[in-house]
Structure 1
Amino acid sequence: MWSPSELSEAEFRLLHRHLRARAPGGASRRGALDTITEEHVLAAVREVRTGRTVSLAAPVDTRTGPDNADPAQHRLTAPAGGKPGESGLEFARDRFAMNIHGDVDSHLDALCHVVYDGTLHGGVPAADVLSPDGASALSVDLARDGIAGRGVLLDIPRLHGVPWLEPGVHVRAEDLAAAEARQGVRVGRGDILLVRVGHRRRREELGPWDVADARAGLHPTALEFLAEREVAVLGGDGNNDTAPSAVRGVAFPVHVLAVHAMGLHLLDHLRFEDLTPICAQEGRWSFLCVIAPLRLPTATGSPVNPLAIL
């Protein structure tokens, strides 16, 4: 149905309409989070066998780099000058600030993050929701009670016998299906799907680069796989989109399809390098996954430290 590599804008809009028509349409406006029921959470808890917890977040990066022009800021505000006195009581205090949607730090994209044709997910007029004070609807507050469910990690470089996918390489639906078969796991309704492309490992071993020009990610047509399986959340160790884009005129097609059309909260720039060897050693690629965004009622996203509990 779709062109093998590059999509025209007309083809992309057809795919967008196709996926939007299949998206969960609950009155709660929580998007695909509605696929995670209490029964799904209880089933995910039964994935826990050893009680081991693993962080899926990268350390917050406060250094300027080719992919981090606006780095997070962290400084000690007390004691003055960072020098405590020799007697009496003092408190060490600090201040933290972040560009939530940067290209390095791990974060969650809310459903108000993507504006396409003047609308947000569900056809909500963006002008009615967004203001200098934030978003009055579809904000990260939809996930204020946390996201807990069955996490499934598909390791695409492992499938192809390489440490990482080179920038510009697309992950397609057939790659996701092949990784399932190789790893002996199947993605299902309400799952938190995590797709490793090796972006983080490449950055750690070779150094940062300008990811706006080149990065590995999902091909837009791979979102059909997610729609068929009715996943609840999509996460990656890059930003889920490939660069250069596979769609002429749309720089972030996966963001548009996932967030705007399908109502998927996205997890960008995670880190799977601690989890992958554990999954390989234990021969299982599913686990309880817990994501707790900050309580930022009108924010378009949040820094996160997702946990895999095995």
Structure 2
Amino acid sequence: MCVACVIDEATKAKIIAYGAKFHEVTKSPYGSDDEIGMLHLIDGTSRSAILGRADASKMFDLSVDHFVGMPGWFGAGDQPYQIWMTHTPQGEIVANTMGVSAEANELVAYSGDSISMYTHCGTHIDTFNHFGYKGQIFNGFTAQDHLGSRAWQKCGPEKHPPILARGVLLDVAGLHGLATLPPSHAVGAADITGCLKHQGVELRPGDVVLLRTGQMALWPDMAFTKNTPGLNREGAEFLAKAGAVMIGADNLTLEQTPSAHDLNFFPVHTYLLAEAGVPILEMAQLDELAAEKLYEFAFFGACIKLRGATGAPMRPVAMPLS
């Protein structure tokens, strides 16, 4: 059954994807100053409803560790994750950076460190300023008017509210009886409807939808980054028109790589972020949810508020529903 056929007109008016035009940025129905898109469907009522059903006695951590040598997006020359010590107990005894007595440095064991990474490293969200069309991003904000020397002035992760919503797992690898989907497998409408039927769940407006491709079976080998099975535009349209407020996966890019589109090297990113107003979650650890056959759950995640960034780390968790 077509998703659009089971959504009434009043609800369609709240779903940005119904106003989208191919390869054009969409003006938000939530106003000219809107920077969060479909996250508007999360409100006090929806949060209270899902929180009232959440069983916090068991929690599933959906994030990966950050560590030197971890897989990541290096396809455009972006830096890998690095960490280094800035203070060590013995180093402070020698360098005395705090300007205290030798006795104090011997008493107090001081350690500190710094990190450097691409903002799309590890489990993270993609914000609307990450991809757009012809110099514009979601809601018509432009690079000419809204991009400074250091960061975007619009649509950064600092605008995102903490996300507390119903989560739905679509175990596409499990549907096919595979540990991981074949390289570059395209997850379209058939896989999605097959999962919904196989798992006995339904999509509802306001859901966070997570796709399991099985790619985490390759983690942390660099093979994780190559020829990823993932969502195609058809599948992305299906989920966006169902009213998803965020769409994520357990792979590097959410979408199928390499792109099947001649010109657009990230057709799902551009569609979801610029046309449909749906933020993206990538590199989520979903194997434990799949092993428990937990296809419906309470999802909670809050990203780091990196002002104006195009992405930010998130540590999402899932809780069973009572």
Report the CA distance between 1:30 and its aligned residue: 1.6
Residue 230 (structure 1) aligns with: 243
The whole-number CA distance in structure 2 between the counterparts of 1:270 and 1:94 is 26
Aligned length in residues? 286
Among candidates 301, 309, 315, match of residue 305 of structure 1: 315
- Equivalent-residue separation in structure 1 for 2:133 and 2:41 (angstroms): 24
Tell me the residue number matched to 1:217. Answer: 230
Measured after TM superposition, the shift of residue 194 of structure 1 is: 0.5
- Residue 47 of structure 1 and its aligned partner are, at CA, apart by 3.4
Whether contact under 8 Å (2:227, 2:256) holds in the other structure is yes
Rg larger in structure: 2
Contact map agreement 1:19 1:227 (CA 8 A) in 2 = no
Check 1:285–1:82 CA distance in 2 against 1; reply closer, same or farther (3 A cut). Answer: farther
Indicate if the aligned counterparts of 1:19 and 1:262 stay in contact, CA closer than 8 A: no
Find the residue that maps to 1:135 and give its secondary structure. coil
1:131 aligns with 2:151: no
Root-mean-square deviation (CA, aligned residues, Å) is 2.6
Distance in 1 between residues matched to 2:297 and 2:72, nearest whole Å? 34
Partner of 2:130, secondary structure, is: coil
The question of whether the paired residues in 2 share the 8 Å contact of 1:23 and 1:32 is answered with no
Which residue of the partner structure matches residue 203 of structure 2? Answer: 187
Q: Secondary structure at the match of 1:70?
A: coil
- 1:54 aligned partner: 60
Matches within 5 A, 1:170-209: 170-204=186-220, 207-209=221-223
Runs of 5+ consecutive residues of structure 2 not aligned to the other structure: 1-18, 94-102
Q: Per the alignment, in what secondary structure is the counterpart of residue 158 of structure 2? A: helix
**% identical equivalent positions:** 25
**Match for residue 38 of structure 1 among 39, 44, 67:** 44
Change in CA separation of 1:260 and 1:34 when aligned onto 2, cut-off 3 Å = same
CA pair 66-42 structure 1, distance change in 2 beyond 3 A: closer
1:120 has 2:133 as partner: no
Residues 1:90 and 1:81: Cα distance change in structure 2 (over 3 Å)? closer
- Aligned-pair CA distance for 1:148: 1.2
1:49-104 CA-to-partner distances (Å, cap 9, x unmatched) read 352111111111311669657321112222156798994113221112211124xx
Question: C-alpha separation between the residues in 2 aligned to 1:41 and 1:150?
Answer: 9
Evaluate the alpha carbon distance shift between residue 75 and residue 301 of structure 1 in structure 2; reply closer, same or farther with a 3 A threshold: same
Query: Is the partner of 2:222 in helix, strand or coil?
Result: coil
Structure-1 residue corresponding to 2:81: 72
Do 2:208 and 2:244's aligned partners in 1 also have CA atoms closer than 8 Å? yes
Residue 247 (structure 1) shift: 1.0
1:264 to 270, 278, 281: 278
CA distance in 2, matches of 1:185, 1:22: 30
Match of 1:293 among 286, 303, 307: 303
Q: Which consecutive residues of structure 1, in runs of 5 or more, have no partner in the other structure?
A: 1-14
Deviation at 1:293, TM superposition (A): 0.9
Flag the 1:230–1:237 CA change in 2: closer, same or farther, 3 A: same
Instruction: Determine the C-alpha separation between the residues in 2 that align with 1:224 and 1:64.
Output: 31
Q: What amino acid does structure 2 have at the position aligned with 1:285? A: Y
Segment of structure 1 superposing worse, 154-163 or 119-128 = 119-128
Identify the residue that residue 35 of structure 2 maps to in structure 1: 29
Residue 134 (structure 1) shift: 0.5
Task: Determine the C-alpha separation between the residues in 2 that align with 1:23 and 1:37.
Answer: 21
Residues 1:150 and 2:166 aligned together: yes
TM-score, length-scaled by structure 2: 0.81
